[in-house]
Structure 1
Amino acid sequence: MSPHHEIHRTHRIGWLRAAVLGANDGIVSTASLIVGIAASHATHNDIVLAGVAGLVAGAMSMAAGEYVSVSSQADTEQADLKRERKELEEDGHHEQKELAAIYVSRGLDPLLAEQVAVQLMEHDALGAHARDELGISEAGTARPIQAALTSAVTFAVGAVLPLLIVLFAPDTDLIVLVSSASLLFLTLLGILAAYTGGSGIIKGAFRVAFWGALAMGLTAAVGSVFGTVV
């Protein structure tokens, strides 16, 4: 009989979070910028220029922000692992008792917990403490470069979608077409993210579309007011 293979989604958390965040921001920020500029009665060239500038600036901002954020997380993880490694070298017996106490708190019998702690530490002491004491696992390990590149690329992809609408849409219907198409893109993105992550599809699609609609509505109002004033 072949071994049973279970499918889990936790290994997707890192790249999925960065990809969804990047694409969502690319669509929302670029579409909102385009709608806001269009509502101020700017020329078609100005609208395109604003959209392209928003794409480049947004992609770089997402990459830098993700890299700094995830690098800080990685630094914290490495500092914790370094401290744990030192504690294992200085007092391995105490660390073994500490690990056994964790297993007891999770429901194991004290004797069994002690045996599990001993065997796991013989196999990989630092790995056992990283996983069960510090909560650091291979699936959730911080990867700054991966997060930065994923965010930048997915932001750019998301931003290109409303830009393509601008290039082919007539000026008279630009706001309506960009808004409706962007909401459609956001809804599909929410469905894809929910399906990939194994969560509710309707809920995922609604929350992405709602915040996108709110962002575009507010920027359109701002553009209309300032365009009228100027």
Structure 2
Amino acid sequence: MRTWHAEIHRGHRIGWLRAAVLGANDGIVSTASLLLGVASANGSHQSLLIAGLAGLVAGAMSMAAGEYVSVHSQADAEHADLQRERRELRDDAAGEHSELAGIYIERGLDPDLAHQVAQQLMEHDALGSHARDELGMNASGSARPIQAAFSSAASFAIGAALPLAVTAFGPIENLTFWLASTSIVFLAVLGLLSGLAGGAHIGRSTIRIVFWGVLAMAVTSGIGSVFGVVT
């Protein structure tokens, strides 16, 4: 009978949490920076909306494609490692047993117990044991390209929609101020949520996300101002 303990671990969230936070952060920062740059260059309200919508669509598709390709490459590498491990288990089972036992000895088991554990685990699931303890793979952390691509695209679109909505429905007067201030709030909320979901220090997570977001928006707004003056 399997027993459960009350400790809460968040390692199984790393894959989708990384993609979701990265996508949402990129959506907020890139779209807000784009809109601030166009606004600082004295762009019209219509041009702002067009630029923001184009940035949302292009960014979401780029995130999906990039995440799918990169994670699929990881999945291909994992598949190749598993195939090689299957061949080694078939051709040299004794050597693989010794290799697994050696891993357990390095972790602190005495040799007799290490060999006993390796024997029992290999009888139960030889490939799974080597994948986990030799290659560092596990079911919850295995690469899922489609899931990662969808998560990145969806989170980017949600993040990008926030500053775009401010541009569409916010006050035309002082739009740059409203766009910058609300984007900072959005980034702070993202940092808070990512810290809570990942169990990280909320303050450091929030400050890190807000700092880099503000820096990106400031640089883009400055470039837009320069071009706006020139034109």
Code of the residue aligned with 2:103 in structure 1: it is: I
Match of 2:222 in 1: 221
TM-score under structure 2 length normalisation: 0.97
Match of 2:141 in 1: 140
Q: Over residues 72-91 of structure 1, what are the superposed CA-to-partner deviations in whole Å (9 max), with x where a residue is unaligned?
A: 00000000000000000000
Q: Residues of 2 paired with 1:9 and 1:75: CA distance?
A: 26
Q: Does 1:151 align with 2:182?
A: no
Q: Over residues 159-197 of structure 1, what are the superposed CA-to-partner deviations in whole Å (9 max), with x where a residue is unaligned?
A: 000011101223331111111101101111011101110
Q: Residues of 1 paired with 2:97 and 2:159: CA distance?
A: 49
Report 1:8-157 matches (<5 A): 8-157=9-158
Q: Residues of 2 paired with 1:191 and 1:110: CA distance?
A: 47
The number of equivalent residue pairs is: 229
Q: Over residues 37-91 of structure 1, what are the superposed CA-to-partner deviations in whole Å (9 max), with x where a residue is unaligned?
A: 0000010000110000000000000000000000000000000000000000000
Q: Residues of 2 paired with 1:90 and 1:58: CA distance?
A: 48
Code of the residue aligned with 2:55 in structure 1: it is: G
Code of the residue aligned with 2:126 in structure 1: it is: A
Q: Residues of 2 paired with 1:115 and 1:42: CA distance?
A: 72
Q: Residues of 2 paired with 1:39 and 1:157: CA distance?
A: 24
Identity score, percent: 62
Q: Secondary structure at the match of 1:172?
A: coil
Q: Residues of 1 paired with 2:100 and 2:63: CA distance?
A: 39
Report the Cα offset of residue 3 of structure 1: 4.5
Identify the range of structure 1 (170-179 vs 153-162) with the bigger mean alpha-carbon deviation.
Answer: 170-179
Identify the range of structure 1 (202-211 vs 172-181) with the bigger mean alpha-carbon deviation.
Answer: 172-181
Q: Residues of 2 paired with 1:4 and 1:48: CA distance?
A: 51
TM-score under structure 1 length normalisation: 0.98
Q: Residues of 2 paired with 1:169 and 1:89: CA distance?
A: 66
Listed as ranges, the gaps of 5+ residues in structure 2 are: none
Q: Over residues 130-176 of structure 1, what are the superposed CA-to-partner deviations in whole Å (9 max), with x where a residue is unaligned?
A: 00000011111000000000000110000000011101223331111
Q: Residues of 2 paired with 1:201 and 1:37: CA distance?
A: 33
Match of 2:198 in 1: 197
Q: Residues of 2 paired with 1:98 and 1:135: CA distance?
A: 14
Code of the residue aligned with 2:56 in structure 1: it is: L
